Amino acid sequence: MSAVVDRMTRVVVQGLTGRQATWSSQDMGAYGTRLVAGVVPGKGGQIHLGIPLFDRVDDAVRATGANAALAYVPASVAAHAVVEALEAGLPLVIYPGDGLPIHDALRLRNLALSVGSSFVGPNTPGVISPGESKLGFMPSYCFTRGSLGVVTKSGSLSYEVCLRLTQAGIGQSTVIGIGGDPIKGTTMREALALLHRDPETSAILVLGEIGGVDEYDACAYAQEPDAKPLGAFLVGRTAPRGRKLGHAGALIDSDRSGFEAKVAALELAHVPVAATLAEVVPIAAQLCAGGQHR
């Protein structure tokens, strides 16, 4: 059992018949992800990509035993879709889309916490356990099976870094995209806890950026006595203060959310921080070899 998803994960795709959902579902199916149902209101009873469609998530769960949902729906109706999936009792719901209103993110986070489910997103490519299953649209060839867990605020940066790791022979156990929004279904702290408990993860790489305070969770984790070896790479060193860069949370609005403060805090917590992209692979290799500078 991997940290979040594995071969046993049975996925219902909300909005399966959409253009991007169709493309991504074919891609996930080819990767080996078990797609058991689609939910598209008004299309219940039909078949798409060989997958049965249902009007409602609870119908899909009853009929197929789905245990995870991936919501490929527009941001304006995302809250409704995620609430439906959580209320159907699914233990894992992923919303990869961007543009989710922050007050919706807050409600969804709190609902997931209250029903004891995991909500991942918004604004993330999803979650992949290489060789097992992927719930999301990350390019498969960037990833290979291994023991390095990765938590990332940025999807695109995780592709770049994981491709380099894969080419260097450093495989990944689970890559969790937590997204770059300020209110998250799964935070850095929660994602690190999942990887900490995962027996297949022996070391952890955090991909961070300016804005927010998520990277301080990595500092706190690294200082726990039984922490797994942890390294980090951050982007946005050249970002101007006070301007939002793409991600809703990528905004330097205090000294603490800036690049230098985060790097300094990580170094103080003895977390090796790659100074450039090229340094990520050697640091990851060291982490996986069990060695961390202390």
Partner 1 sequence: MAQLTEHLSKGLLERFKVPIGTGELVNSSASARAAAARAASPVAVKAQIPVGSRGRAGAIIRAESPMDAGAAFDIVTGIRMDGLQAHEARIEPWQRILDELYMAVSFDSTLQAPVLLFNPFGGADLESHPESLRIMAIPVDHEVSFAYVREHADLSGLASAATDSLATIARDLIHAFFALEARMIELNPLGQLEDGEWIALDARIVLDDNALFRHPDLQGLVGAMSPRRAEDIVRETTRLEFVPLDGSIAVISGGAGMTMAVMDLIADRGASAACFLDCSADVTPRGYRAALDLVLSIPRITSILVSVFGGLTRVDRVASTFIDLLAGTPVELPLTFRLMGTNLQEADDILASAGLDNHHVLEAAVEAAVRSGQQSREGSS
Judged by the rule CB under 8 A, the positions of this chain that interact with partner 1 are 20, 24, 27, 75-76, 98-104, 106-107, 109-110, 125, 136-139, 142, 152-160, 163, 180, 182-184, 187, 207, 209-210, 212-214, 216, 235-240, 242-251, 276-278
DSSP state of 228: P
- Alpha carbons 254 and 212: distance in angstroms, whole number: 9
Kindly tell me which of 137 and 221 has the beta carbon lying closer to partner 1.
137
Sign for the CA dihedral angle at 69, 98, 150, 183 comes to: negative
Residue with tokens 């202390």, as numbered in its chain: 294
- Alpha carbons 259 and 239: distance in angstroms, whole number: 9
Query: Could you tell me the maximum CA-CA distance found in the chain, to the nearest angstrom?
Result: 59
Beta bridge partners of 230: 204
Q: Which residues are CB-neighbours of 70 under 8 A, at least 6 positions away?
A: 11, 12, 13, 14, 94, 96, 126, 135, 136
Rounded to the nearest whole angstrom, what is the least distance from the CB of residue 3 to partner 1 in the complex? 20
> CA 130 → CA 7, 141, 144, 148, distances in Å?
10, 10, 5, 11
**Structure tokens, 148:** 């390095």
Catalytic annotation, pick one of 48, 80, 247, 293: 247
Rounded to the nearest whole angstrom, what is the least distance from the CB of residue 170 to partner 1 in the complex? 18
- Alpha carbons 163 and 80: distance in angstroms, whole number: 35
Query: Cis peptide leading into 101, omega within 30 of 0?
Result: no
Kindly tell me which of 1 and 141 has the beta carbon lying closer to partner 1.
141
Kindly tell me which of 29 and 101 has the beta carbon lying closer to partner 1.
101
Angle at CA of residue 273, ends 190 and 176, nearest 5°? 30
Kindly tell me which of 24 and 33 has the beta carbon lying closer to partner 1.
24
Residue 80 among the catalytic residues? no
Rounded to the nearest whole angstrom, what is the least distance from the CB of residue 159 to partner 1 in the complex? 5
- Alpha carbons 58 and 65: distance in angstroms, whole number: 10
Kindly tell me which of 61 and 170 has the beta carbon lying closer to partner 1.
170
- Alpha carbons 99 and 105: distance in angstroms, whole number: 10
Kindly tell me which of 184 and 292 has the beta carbon lying closer to partner 1.
184
Residues marked active site are found at 247
